[in-house]
């Protein structure tokens, strides 16, 4: 069993999710490697110290370059706001470290192009954390599609609906700041759906979008904390929202399929309502992450009197099943999804394979994202550049 040392940059919710995955992954999958949580970097010493204690890192720092400069560290895990990804990822790659980076990979395709160039030159492994494709039910959808079980794909209809910022008094997270985030709902959650569309259907060739900012000002937060949703601060100072609250786009895929995507964080009653429905010539698939143990599938070759959408609960017989729990319905949570993601990352490193999804996908999705914003601005069909 090999040991690899990890340096993590960032200390909030995603740091927890990744740290859990690092601790848990050898209990679930046999990748031949154990991760040592070596150093965590956060915006100041106190935050970093607290995060180290909580998440189990041996060292902490308020200077992320300490991690880059430490030759003992094998892996850099970037869970900071988006505007910091480029500098950090490039530095990590140039230092020869494998990288896992939260999504979106950058604020725009210019940034992601630069990142991609460097990591490819450096020859390190790189993964972008579009974790939802790691849900076993999504991996099962991919398997059915590849086996031809639903035939040629006709269309894709995706949504990602949340309500943590539906209340105009919910705080001004950095996620509402274009300088930091690049875009709003589109980059934050819309990109997850784009990744699924790209993964399950094919490359996206053209888009045609509307964006809207429903709440123009929100109460500011102290520092750059990222309190989501219903945690209301008493702060009466308001700051400007500079990104989209909602995006709807039409999609044309390179394989001829068509589709649509809607993402909004102003959908009361929806929380992590990441759904897709795909209709093919021989069947259909439906998935809703809020009920993520389940994949719904309809096969046209069932007899007329017994055809219908079937609810398959993922378990041992499905992707990643051997490593997870012994029966379906014990439950896939956010933990399990992040554990699978970490497993795939480590497996790619140990077997010297390309990560899925790598920064290539991170960059490609950035190109599509840029095209969506351009389309929304120009109000016309826009080709995704390559």
Which residues, 6 or more positions from 347, have their beta carbon under 8 angstroms from its beta carbon?
29, 31, 353
Tokens of 137: 């039910």
Q: How far is the CB of 213 from a second copy (least distance, A)?
A: 11
Q: Which is nearer to a second copy, 96 or 333 (CB)?
A: 333
Binding to a second copy in span 28-57, by CB under 8 A: 28, 30, 53-56
Binding to a second copy in span 325-354, by CB under 8 A: 325-337, 339
210 lines the binding site for a second copy (CB under 8 A): yes
Task: Pick the closest to residue 229 from 183, 180, 176, 169 (CA basis).
Answer: 169
208 lines the binding site for a second copy (CB under 8 A): yes
Q: How far is the CB of 228 from a second copy (least distance, A)?
A: 5
Residue 255: CA atoms inside 13 Å, Cβ hemisphere, count?
16
Tokens of 370: 């840029």
How far is 276 from 160, CA to CA, in rounded Å? 9
Distance of CA 180 to the CA centre of its chain: 17
Q: Which is nearer to a second copy, 115 or 138 (CB)?
A: 138
Span of 88-96, 112-120, 141-149, 195-203 interacting with a second copy by CB under 8 A: 141-149
213 lines the binding site for a second copy (CB under 8 A): no
216 lines the binding site for a second copy (CB under 8 A): no
Q: Which is nearer to a second copy, 114 or 291 (CB)?
A: 291
How far is 60 from 79, CA to CA, in rounded Å? 15
Task: Pick the closest to residue 100 from 78, 81, 120, 80 (CA basis).
Answer: 78
Task: Pick the closest to residue 362 from 109, 80, 125, 83 (CA basis).
Answer: 109
184 lines the binding site for a second copy (CB under 8 A): no
* Contact in structure between 366 and 111 (CB atoms under 8 Å): yes
Give the largest CA-CA distance in the chain.
66
Give the number of residues in contact with a second copy, rule: CB under 8 A: 106
Residue 161 bridge partners (DSSP): 264, 273
Q: Which of 121, 240, 271, 353 binds a second copy (CB under 8 A)?
A: 271
Q: Which is nearer to a second copy, 48 or 115 (CB)?
A: 48
300 lines the binding site for a second copy (CB under 8 A): yes
2 lines the binding site for a second copy (CB under 8 A): no
10 lines the binding site for a second copy (CB under 8 A): no
Residue with tokens 């910022």: 165
Residue 278: CA atoms inside 13 Å, Cβ hemisphere, count?
28
Residue 319 bridge partners (DSSP): none
313 lines the binding site for a second copy (CB under 8 A): yes
CB atoms within 10 A of CB 281: 11
Q: Which is nearer to a second copy, 112 or 135 (CB)?
A: 135
Terminal-to-terminal C-alpha distance of the chain: 41
Q: Which of 117, 167, 203, 239 binds a second copy (CB under 8 A)?
A: 167
254 lines the binding site for a second copy (CB under 8 A): no
Q: Which of 64, 253, 273, 276 binds a second copy (CB under 8 A)?
A: 273
Residue 127 bridge partners (DSSP): 100
Span of 20-28, 74-82, 105-113, 346-354 interacting with a second copy by CB under 8 A: 20-28
Q: Which of 46, 281, 354, 377 binds a second copy (CB under 8 A)?
A: 281
Span of 21-29, 64-72, 115-123, 346-354 interacting with a second copy by CB under 8 A: 21-29
Which residues, 6 or more positions from 379, have their beta carbon under 8 angstroms from its beta carbon?
none
Q: How far is the CB of 302 from a second copy (least distance, A)?
A: 8
């Amino acid at each position: 069993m090999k040991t690899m040392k990890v340096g993590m940059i960032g200390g909030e919710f995603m740091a927890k999710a990744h740290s859990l995955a690092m601790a848990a992954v050898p209990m679930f999958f046999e990748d031949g490697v154990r991760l040592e949580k070596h150093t965590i970097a956060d915006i100041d010493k106190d935050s970093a110290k607290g995060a180290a204690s909580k998440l189990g890192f041996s060292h902490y720092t308020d200077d992320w370059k300490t991690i880059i400069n430490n030759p003992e560290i094998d892996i850099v895990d970037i869970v900071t706001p988006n505007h910091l990804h480029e500098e950090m990822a490039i530095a990590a790659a140039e230092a020869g470290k494998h990288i896992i980076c939260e999504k979106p990979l950058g604020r725009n395709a210019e940034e992601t192009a630069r990142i991609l160039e460097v990591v490819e030159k450096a020859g390190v492994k790189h993964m972008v954390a579009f974790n939802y494709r790691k849900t076993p039910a999504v991996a099962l959808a991919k398997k059915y599609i590849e086996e031809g079980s639903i035939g040629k794909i006709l269309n894709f209809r995706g949504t990602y609906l949340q309500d943590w910022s539906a209340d105009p008094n919910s705080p001004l997270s950095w996620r509402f700041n274009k300088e930091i985030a690049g875009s709003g709902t589109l980059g934050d959650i819309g990109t997850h759906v784009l990744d699924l569309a790209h993964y399950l259907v094919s490359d996206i060739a053209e888009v045609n979008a509307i964006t809207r900012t429903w709440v123009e000002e929100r109460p500011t937060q102290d520092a750059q904390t990222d309190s989501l949703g219903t945690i209301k601060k008493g702060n009466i100072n308001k700051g400007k929202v500079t990104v989209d609250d909602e995006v709807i786009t039409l999609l044309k895929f390179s394989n001829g399929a068509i589709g649509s995507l809607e993402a909004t964080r102003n959908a009361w009653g929806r929380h992590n309502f990441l759904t897709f429905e795909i209709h093919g010539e021989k069947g259909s698939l439906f998935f809703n992450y809020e009920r993520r143990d389940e994949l719904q599938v309809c096969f046209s070759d069932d007899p007329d009197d017994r055809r219908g959408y079937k609810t398959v609960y993922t378990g041992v017989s499905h992707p990643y099943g051997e490593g997870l729990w012994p029966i379906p319905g014990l439950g896939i949570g956010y933990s399990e999804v992040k554990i699978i993601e970490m497993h795939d990352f480590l497996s790619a490193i140990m077997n010297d394979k390309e990560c899925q999804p790598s920064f290539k996908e991170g960059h490609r999705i950035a190109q599509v994202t840029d095209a969506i914003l351009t389309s929304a601005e120009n109000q016309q069909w826009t080709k995704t550049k390559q």
